[in-house]
């Protein structure tokens, strides 16, 4: 039996992050409110350190290492924001970090991970089983594996973003959360249940990869092929054991957003709110606009999960 993390763990994570993570701003937009006929509160994790909420979970997990674990180091696998989150957290805590990244990861992300001081090992994602490779390296070198989402300390850390949101704006009727492997959604649901028990929490996935929706509705974890979507932070193939355990208990439903609607949301944030939000970070607002949820007259929280998109790609997406 798994012991699922609780809101107490989110509180403890919040204390560990104090003075290390940013308390990100909550922004509102008159245009968004008029469009949805609702009061919309955007929790801007695109302004978090390294550009996404993943710093919260990574830093919380590494803060809990024993002296021996710190000395030996951390290992993880990721093509994106988790890699940078582990690398930065490890540097801040003086822990050596090894990250496995796919050969075809965006060069800017590989570069950023190296720049934070991590050792990056590249692998061929079509030939290697990265999880097996990671476990083998961890065993050989005595490293502690911190996976991107299915870990109690990662989930608890991610939950601190929604905790801050509720503390700042009070109760909400809806909370819309981007969903990949479910660390952010599970953590957010823990905070919502504790701080605003009537709030309906929704996960939002890319339309092309709705394994989370299928899992939620069928009651068992569904595995899919890597989905083709511009939401690269949510190209996961399945939920985790811990994340699914919390999501099935505390989440109201999982809905989807198309790539076209993600681009529309990116344009909205850039033009109207003068911010850069990466495609995955737009899932919540895209669903607010197009998923047919009964938001009129309600107080709606939307987590903008990250802002890491290189400008050339941003331009291409908006021009298409
Ligand atoms: C990782 C990530 C997600 C998905 O988070 P999970 O915890 O895997 O569900 C969403 N948005 C961004 C920007 C991410 O980096």
d(CA 276, CA 186): 25
CA atoms within 13 A on the CB side of 153: 16
Given this model, what pLDDT does residue 108 score? 77
- pLDDT (tens digit per residue) in 82-93: 999 999 999 999
The stretch 77-106 carries a mean pLDDT of 92
The stretch 26-42 carries a mean pLDDT of 98
pLDDT at 125 over 80: no
d(CA 43, CA 160): 11
Given this model, what pLDDT does residue 109 score? 82
The stretch 98-102 carries a mean pLDDT of 92
Residue 118's closest CA among 73, 87, 74? 87
The stretch 76-86 carries a mean pLDDT of 91
Given this model, what pLDDT does residue 308 score? 93
pLDDT at 129 over 90: no
The stretch 124-140 carries a mean pLDDT of 86
Rg for the chain (alpha carbons), in Å?
Answer: 18
Given this model, what pLDDT does residue 223 score? 96
pLDDT-based confidence at 68, cuts 50/70/90? very high
Ligand 1 atom having least distance to the Cα of 234:
4
Is 108 buried (19+), middle (13-18) or exposed (0-12) by CB count in 10 A?
Answer: middle
What residue spans of the chain are helical by DSSP H?
Answer: 7-17, 30-36, 54-63, 67-72, 81-93, 107-115, 130-141, 152-169, 183-195, 211-218, 241-250, 259-273, 283-290, 311-319
CA angle 132, 133, 139 (to 5 degrees): 90
pLDDT at 280 over 80: yes
The structure's pTM equals 0.97
d(CA 165, CA 37): 20
Q: Give the residue, out of 154, 247, 280, 284, with the most ligand 1 atoms within 8 A of its beta carbon, to mutate for a pocket test.
A: 280
Question: Which range has the worst mean pLDDT, 17-21, 152-156, 198-202, 227-231?
Answer: 227-231
Record the tokens describing residue 182, joined without a space: 């479910």
pLDDT-based confidence at 252, cuts 50/70/90? very high
Residue 173: φ, ψ to 5° = -85, -35
The stretch 137-158 carries a mean pLDDT of 96
Active-site residue, 79 included:
yes
Q: Give the residue, out of 181, 244, 305, 314, with the most ligand 1 atoms within 8 A of its beta carbon, to mutate for a pocket test.
A: 305
Percent of the chain with pLDDT over 70: 100
User: Residue with structure tokens 């290189």?
Assistant: 310
pLDDT at 242 over 80: yes
**Backbone angle region of 258, left / alpha / beta, with phi > 0 → left and psi within -120 to 50 → alpha:** beta
pLDDT at 257 over 80: yes
Given this model, what pLDDT does residue 79 score? 74
Active-site residue, 54 included:
yes
CA of 84 to the centre of ligand 1 (A): 13
The stretch 39-67 carries a mean pLDDT of 98
Ligand 1 atom having least distance to the Cα of 185:
9
d(CA 170, CA 156): 20
Question: Any residues with CB less than 8 A from the CB of 55 and at least 6 apart, and which?
Answer: 21, 48, 49, 85, 88, 89
């Amino acid at each position: 039996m798994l012991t699922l993390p609780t809101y107490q763990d989110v509180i403890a994570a919040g204390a560990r992050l104090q003075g290390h993570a940013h308390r990100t701003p909550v922004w509102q937009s008159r245009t968004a409110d008029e469009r949805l006929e609702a009061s919309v509160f955007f929790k801007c994790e695109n302004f978090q350190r390294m550009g996404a909420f993943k710093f919260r979970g990574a830093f919380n997990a590494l803060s809990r290492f024993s002296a021996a674990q710190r000395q030996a180091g951390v290992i993880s696998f990721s093509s994106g924001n988790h890699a940078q989150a582990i690398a930065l957290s490890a540097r801040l805590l003086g822990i050596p970090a090894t990250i496995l990244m796919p050969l075809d990861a965006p060069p800017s992300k590989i570069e950023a991970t190296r720049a934070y001081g991590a050792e990056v090992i590249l692998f061929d994602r079509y030939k290697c089983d990265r999880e097996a490779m990671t476990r083998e390296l961890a065993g050989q070198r005595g490293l502690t594996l911190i996976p991107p989402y299915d870990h109690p300390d990662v989930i608890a850390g991610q939950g601190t973003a929604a905790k801050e949101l509720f503390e700042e704006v009070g109760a909400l009727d809806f909370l819309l959360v981007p969903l990949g492997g479910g660390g952010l959604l599970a953590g957010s649901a823990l905070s919502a249940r504790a701080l605003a028990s009537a709030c309906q929490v929704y996960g939002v996935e890319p339309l092309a990869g709705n394994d989370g929706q299928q899992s939620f509705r069928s009651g068992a974890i569904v595995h899919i092929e890597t989905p083709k979507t511009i939401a690269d932070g949510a190209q996961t193939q399945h939920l985790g054991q811990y994340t699914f355990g919390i999501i099935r208990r505390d989440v109201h439903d999982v809905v989807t957003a198309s790539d076209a609607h993600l681009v529309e949301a990116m344009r909205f944030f850039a033009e109207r709110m003068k911010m850069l939000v990466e495609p995955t970070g737009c899932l919540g607002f895209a669903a607010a606009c197009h998923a047919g949820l009964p938001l009129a007259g309600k107080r709606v929280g939307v987590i903008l999960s990250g802002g890491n998109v290189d400008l050339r790609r941003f331009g291409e997406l908006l021009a298409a």
